[in-house]
Amino acid sequence: MLEFAWPWIFLLLPLPLLVWWLLPPYRARQVSIQVPFFERLAAATGQTPQRGAVVLERRAVQMIVAAAIWILLVSAMARPQWVGDPVTREVSARDLILAIDISGSMDQRDFKTPDGTTLTRLDGVKRVIRDFIARRKGDRVALILFGTRAYVQVPFTQDLETAQQLLEQTEVGMAGQQTAIGDTIGLAIKTFAASTAKQKLLILLTDGNDTASRVPPEHAADIARQNEVAVYTVGVGDPAASGENRVDLGVLRAVASTTGGHFFRAEDGAQLEAIYADIDRLAPARLQTLSWRPKLPLFQWPLGAAVVLGLVLWVALLAGSEWRRSRELHHA
């Protein structure tokens, strides 16, 4: 469908007529021959002397082409465009951060996969999270790794393959041997600061207790709630162990409850897979519908036609003038 982006430009169409009617004609002084008996010559011809003027005659074709050029120029200025059929697309309105514990305790080989294989905790978690990332079509995903310190391994992206590759490169102890849950939540809040998504979700997985944070997890969870960040916590490992190896289920429950999230307990790969499936069900992605109509600009066509018409008229007038001149010289 043909549309004009600036249709009000067509109000300029009568402008040349207004200029022709309202403005005084152009005047120019020219050299003339003075005749000493001018008054007698004028009386002999029966004319009354007055200010002289020579009105240049314009041919009808000149006026028609000039009008056509003006109409084409105004049409080009009105920005004609061809508007296509509406295109609708649904995109996710959610930003999601996966926070993975890579402290020293994640190197223990006690994680059983659904097929009965025993892996280290980190390798087992990688396998489950790799599949979880693959299902995040439309989401923007970020990856935070934490131990003694927390850092962003993958900033927000929709490039899921790259996120999976960087997850595979993760090794135990890269961020230190201790666990900093509170600082990790704080880093996630900072990462969400520039996000405009309507849904902000942090999934935090750990097998230890907070031993290295400068900000207590409960305080960090309260800040997350104020920033509308929901935290889903997943505890793996043994709550009866001691030191760094003991998973603090109470803190994980409190963090999830404060932020409006959920707490999950996983003892093996099957349970962990079920947990991430539950997260898909409990926190479905919010879809945002985007609709637009493709627009193809067409202003170049009337503009080009105006240029061609002007050139054709100029060439025709020039050729006509040369033809008359050569004819006059021939008769002379």
Residue 149 CA to residue 186 CA, distance in Å, equals: 11
In this prediction, residue 166 carries a pLDDT of: 92
**Residue 9 and residue 70 in one domain:** yes
- Tell me which of 216 and 40 has the higher pLDDT: 216
Residue 261 CA to residue 234 CA, distance in Å, equals: 11
Q: At which residue do the structure tokens 């879809």 appear? A: 287
**Residue 73 and residue 202 in one domain:** no
In this prediction, residue 186 carries a pLDDT of: 95
**Residue 14 and residue 123 in one domain:** no
Task: Using CB atoms within 10 Å of the CB of residue 103, give its burial: 0 to 12 exposed, 13 to 18 middle, 19+ buried.
Answer: buried
In this prediction, residue 285 carries a pLDDT of: 61
For the chain, what's the residue count? 332
Q: At which residue do the structure tokens 């097929």 appear? A: 115
Q: Which amino acid is at 162?
A: T
The domain that holds 158 is classified in CATH as 3.40.50.410
Per-residue confidence band for 243, with pLDDT thresholds at 50, 70 and 90: low
Q: Is there a contact between 110 and 118 (Cβ–Cβ < 8 Å)?
A: yes
Q: Is there a contact between 175 and 182 (Cβ–Cβ < 8 Å)?
A: no
Q: Strand order of the sheet with strand 295-297?
A: 2-4, 80-83, 295-297
- Tell me which of 16 and 47 has the higher pLDDT: 16
**Residue 237 and residue 305 in one domain:** no
The domain of 120 spans: 89-290
On average, the pLDDT of the chain sits at 84
Q: Is there a contact between 133 and 163 (Cβ–Cβ < 8 Å)?
A: yes
CA angle 125, 131, 136 (to 5 degrees): 120
Q: Please, which residues bridge with residue 63 across strands?
A: none
In this prediction, residue 331 carries a pLDDT of: 64
**Domain total of the chain:** 2
Per-residue confidence band for 245, with pLDDT thresholds at 50, 70 and 90: low
**Residue 105 and residue 156 in one domain:** yes
Q: Is there a contact between 269 and 114 (Cβ–Cβ < 8 Å)?
A: yes
End-to-end Cα, the chain, rounded Å: 61
Residue 245 CA to residue 129 CA, distance in Å, equals: 22
Q: Is there a contact between 173 and 207 (Cβ–Cβ < 8 Å)?
A: no
**pLDDT tens digit sequence for 151-183:** 999 999 988 899 999 999 999 988 888 889 999
Residue 324 — φ and ψ, nearest 5°? -65, -40
* Whether residue 290 has pLDDT greater than 70: no
**pLDDT tens digit sequence for 136-152:** 877 889 999 999 999 99
**Percent of the chain whose pLDDT exceeds 90:** 32
**pLDDT tens digit sequence for 33-85:** 777 776 777 777 777 766 655 555 667 788 888 889 999 999 999 999 988 88
Residue 111 — φ and ψ, nearest 5°? -100, 115
**Residue 311 and residue 221 in one domain:** no
**Residue 262 and residue 300 in one domain:** no
**pLDDT tens digit sequence for 294-304:** 888 999 999 99
Mean pLDDT, rounded, for 120-147: 87
